Amino acid sequence: MSRLVWGAVALLVLTVAVALAPAGPGGPFPEQALAHIITPTGTPGPPMFHVEIDADAGNGVGPCDPVDTTAEVSGTHEVAVCITNAPAAVATIFFDLVYDDTLNQCVDEECDWPSRCLDDNPDANVGETLGSGLPTNPDLGSGSDCGVGPYDWNCVSPGFDVPPICDNPYTTEGDARLDCLGICGPYTSPVNANPWPLAVVTFDTASAGIDTLTLKDVVIGSAPNGDKIGSCNPAQGVEIPCFGATLDVQEWTPTPTPTPTPTPTATPTPGGAVGGMAEPPDIESGAAANGPGVSVAGAAAVVTAGAGLLVMAGAWYARRRRAG
């Protein structure tokens, strides 16, 4: 289902939610659009804001603080999609982050409907674990008028669209896609000029090169009056500027896990040998090396008796000579 249809369905869902929730103000008015370093060509509606990519989400205080337009990366790394000068609380996020999948690769997380795919890749900033544990403040916030939970955001709806996906198989380039909807208010994300993260995408570097990250098909919907903040690449309605980033990807080879060396096991051999070596005499049991079954004491007795016999034989021989 196209994002244009998905946006219409989302608008209908939010309109019904607003009508049924007395304490909940209105929802977003999603349409379509966003990209890399796009300068608005239409007439922007005040106040103007923009969406940008932070090339190093782990740098500084946290994602989007500061926003790095370039970064040297290697191994596992994370980039953030940031909003700056937010004129209203956010209630809808659509974006595609385009990258070179020969330089950067990713692992798609598995999620299901009950979890609403809030902690996925891309990972929506709803106050849960962000990426590999990056700071989540400030976050998208929201109320609990729908009774679903502390964060009434949904990043997948059965029959509407795909869950978050970090490498869209239907595109020729790498495409990390996120479609999230605030089910109902009150919406509580920051309304100020400071950049803060909408979501984080986690990558692993695959080969060296320069990767130019861009944004497309971005829509940011606002609350409480159901206004659309803006869109770009392509633009519909209020066009906003969107800024990409550049990654200097370094060669990276995962460190292999060392294979333990097996300990050799001694193998008994016939004849009392172990591992091809003759066993030494059993000194403790008193066995002599040249007399199986003869103790050391017994061997000493034999030697003493032999010496006695020699002495006796010598005395007998001497007497014979004197007698002769």
CATH topology of domain 3-249: Immunoglobulin-like (2.60.40)
Q: Where are the domains of the chain?
A: 3-249
Residues with Cβ within 8 Å of residue 131, at least 6 apart in sequence: 57, 63, 78, 123, 200, 202
- Is 302 a residue whose pLDDT tops 80? no
For residue 122, what pLDDT is reported? 95
Enclosing H/E stretch for 306: helix 296-323
Per DSSP bridges, beta strands 277-278 and 273-274 are antiparallel
Distance CA 2, CA 98 (A): 18
Distance CA 324, CA 317 (A): 11
Q: What is the pTM of this model?
A: 0.67
pLDDT (average), residues 24-31: 29
- Is 62 a residue whose pLDDT tops 50? yes
Residues with Cβ within 8 Å of residue 246, at least 6 apart in sequence: 55, 69, 70, 71, 210, 211, 212, 213
Taking the CA of residue 173 as centre, how many other CA atoms within 13 Å lie in the half-sphere pointing to its CB? 14
Distance CA 265, CA 96 (A): 58
Task: Calculate the CA dihedral of residues 57, 60, 66, 67 and round it to 10 degrees.
Answer: -30
pLDDT digits (tens, 9 = 90+) for 72-95: 999 999 999 999 988 889 999 999
- Is 297 a residue whose pLDDT tops 90? no
- Let me know: does 80 contact 46? Beta carbons within 8 Å: no
